[in-house]
Amino acid sequence: MGAIRLVFRFAKKYWLSLLLTVVSMVSLVGAQLLIPWLIKSLVGLVTTTPFALDTVESITRLAVIGLVVFFARGLLSFLRSYAAHIAGWGVVADVRKYVYQHIQKLSLRFYEDKQTGQMMSRVVNDTDIFEALIAHATPDIIVNVLTFVGVATMLIIMSWKLALLSMIPIPLIIIVMRAYSKVVRPAFRFRQQQLGELNAVLNDNISGIREIKAFTREEIEKDRIAVGIDNYKQSLLNALKLMAIFQPLIDFFSSFGTLVVIYFGGILAFNETLPVADLVAFFLYLETFYSPVRVLSQSWERIQEAMASAERVDELIQEEPEIEDKNHPVVLKQRAEGAVMLNDISFRYNTGDMVLQHVTLEIPAHKVVALVGPTGVGKSTLVSLIPRFYDVVEGSITLDGTDIRELSLESLRQQISIVLQDVFLFHGTVRDNILFGRADASEAEMIEAAKIANAHDFIMELPDGYNTLIGERGVKLSGGQKQRLSIARAVLKDAPILILDEATSSVDTETELLIQQALERLMTGRTVIIIAHRLSTVRNADKIVVLEGNNIVEMGSHDQLLAKGGLYHRLYTIQKSFNAA
């Protein structure tokens, strides 16, 4: 019920639209109740009053009232529908924003075993169903309960005995609704789960279409998608089957009530204890009496469907961010000096072995520190701890002497520019992706950043220059071009700490040389942490840190490490021999 309460909390914002919806529906009920009364009056008029001019005037008056009622009914139906949809889709939009804002707060560890398609399904598909809950089910319940009470009152006024007899099916309908809710909600939940699975597979396959073609997996993936589609279809049909069983039961019990009135009402009319006009009106009201019951049963379906989706959304909302600000974090209002200190830190992913253990490392302000070592020793993990993508298990990391856990996440990350090994570019223009580093940068600043990253020349050769669309994940660009755009947006951010995680891994030797020259100018006055497998790119670093296993095994300048003849010397010699070959 947590997510349902959340949905109705957002509905408070749209109280005016919801009020207009309910008022329109109540007025619509009043208009509906007038129609049987008009027919009753007409029947009574023509069967009991001799034909006269007054009779024609009375009939005309009833026709005019009917015209007004039908016109009002149309207008009220429009107001009810439009106002309900304003509230319903407004709530859906607000809930989606809230859920997205929440999942943005969740730590990277949360995303390690999650599928993008499943997450998208919960944000979009599951919340989509809330519209029916707000715009249809809830107003329908309110209005149809009022309708039920109003019609029941009219029936009792005309014949309380017949009214009580007509209510015999109501307890049976309530029993059916309770039983229905126990079986249909799991079915709806499973349907939404299957939809999420289908979205996840589709997202993976569309994103990996190049690999599918390269490995000629088209037929296999076509079959996998077909299985996902069939699974969703079957789960949907199972839920619809339950719905198909439920509605006829409600209709049967409603019809049973009509049969009771036909029998006993006919006897009462035959014995002249109930006027024929009242019996006709009773039958007309009886249809209106059971109509709310049918509508409530349909609303019950929507509620069960919404509850199933709400449970999936609630699971997401209940996830707590592992990395978050303290109650009163320190906000860095000035540019940091950039001195970073790792004090006896240890770290592991989930419950696995320690990736880093008892690591102590000083990174002085305005110095260049390079992290090198075999693949998988934790170099990228180490730099991910500095902007608090993850928190250390033991020890602490400080920035200018302050524990980074005491700093607000926003102000900490504003001090750090990162170029990751796995470049991610957003669908949009070249301009959009560079300005991702700093949205308020001027045109001149953006172009200067591109020039520093050696990207300006190739950008100007694109069809629309900086306004060229690069496709999802920059699919229209080469690896080197994507890498340079990534560097350009890091340059534009102009943070005091610069992290380069294999920043030149996707460029050719000539481009790498140009970028290295540019980065040397950029490094001036900044704290720079470089991860590189090409040891030739870090020989001028102030400090080279060599990792092996889960700790630091060597540390020093290029010349000092070569003189030691240890791991660095071995790695450097192997690379040098390979390059010479």
Kindly state which CATH superfamily the domain 336-415+497-504+526-581 is placed in.
P-loop containing nucleotide triphosphate hydrolases (3.40.50.300)
Sign of CA dihedral 410, 118, 383, 390: positive
Query: If you classify domain 422-494 with CATH, what class do you get?
Result: alpha beta
| Predicted pLDDT of residue 385 | 92
Is residue 75 a contact partner of residue 28, using CB atoms and an 8 Å limit? no
Is residue 192 a contact partner of residue 121, using CB atoms and an 8 Å limit? yes
| Predicted pLDDT of residue 377 | 87
DSSP label at residue 368: E
Q: Is 341 helix (H, G, I), strand (E, B) or coil?
A: strand
| Predicted pLDDT of residue 396 | 94
Q: What is the 3-state secondary structure (H, E, C) of 126-177?
A: HHHCHHHHHHHHHHHHHHHHHHHHHHHHHHHHHCHHHHHHHCCHHHHHHHHH
- What contacts 24+ positions apart, CB below 8 Å, involve 372-376? 372/531, 372/532, 372/533, 372/535, 372/538, 372/544, 372/545, 372/546, 372/547, 372/568, 372/571, 373/546, 373/547, 373/548, 373/553, 373/567, 373/571, 374/548, 374/571, 375/533
Task: Give the distance between the most distant pair of CA atoms in the chain.
Answer: 125
From the list 114, 113, 105, the residue with the least C-alpha distance to 323 is 105
Task: Say which CATH topology domain 2-317 has.
Answer: ABC transporter transmembrane region fold (1.20.1560)
| Predicted pLDDT of residue 479 | 74
Q: Which residues 6+ apart lie within 8 Å of 576 measured at CB?
A: none
Indicate the residue type of 368. Answer: V
Q: Which residues 6+ apart lie within 8 Å of 252 measured at CB?
A: none
Indicate the residue type of 248. Answer: P
* Global confidence as pTM: 0.70
Q: For residues 198 and 209, what is the distance between their CA atoms, to the nearest angstrom?
A: 16
Walk along the chain (581 residues) and give the pLDDT tens digit of each residue: 556 677 778 888 888 888 888 888 778 777 776 776 777 677 666 666 565 556 677 777 777 777 777 787 778 888 888 888 888 888 888 888 888 888 888 877 777 667 777 778 788 877 887 887 787 777 777 777 777 787 778 777 777 777 777 777 777 777 777 777 777 777 877 887 788 788 777 777 776 676 676 667 778 888 888 888 888 888 878 877 877 777 677 777 767 767 777 777 777 776 767 676 667 777 767 766 767 776 766 677 777 777 777 778 888 888 888 888 888 899 988 889 999 999 999 998 876 788 899 999 999 999 999 999 888 888 888 998 999 988 999 999 999 999 999 999 889 989 998 887 777 788 788 898 888 888 888 999 899 888 888 888 888 988 889 998 887 766 778 777 888 888 888 888 888 999 888 766 555 666 667 667 666 767 778 899 998 777 777 888 889 999 988 899 999 998 899 888 888 888 888 877 766 55
Exposed e or buried b for every residue in 180-192, given b needs 16+ CB within 10 A? beeebbebbbbbb
Query: Alpha-carbon Rg of the chain, whole angstroms?
Result: 36
Structure tokens at 336: 């940091």
What does 383-410 look like in DSSP terms, one character per residue? HHHTTTSS--SEEEEEETTEEGGGB-HH
CATH 3.40.50.300: which residues of the chain? 336-415+497-504+526-581, 422-494
Indicate the residue type of 398. Answer: T
| 3-state DSSP helix/strand/coil % of the chain, to nearest 5 | 65, 10, 25
Pairing of strands 543-548, 368-372: parallel
How many other CB atoms are found less than 10 A from the CB of residue 353?
Answer: 8
| Predicted pLDDT of residue 326 | 86
Q: For residues 457 and 459, what is the distance between their CA atoms, to the nearest angstrom?
A: 5
From residue 223, alpha-carbon distances to 210, 220, 228, 230 in Å are 18, 5, 9, 10
Stated as kind and residue range, the H or E segment containing 306 is: helix 276-317
Is residue 450 a contact partner of residue 502, using CB atoms and an 8 Å limit? no
Q: Is 557 helix (H, G, I), strand (E, B) or coil?
A: coil
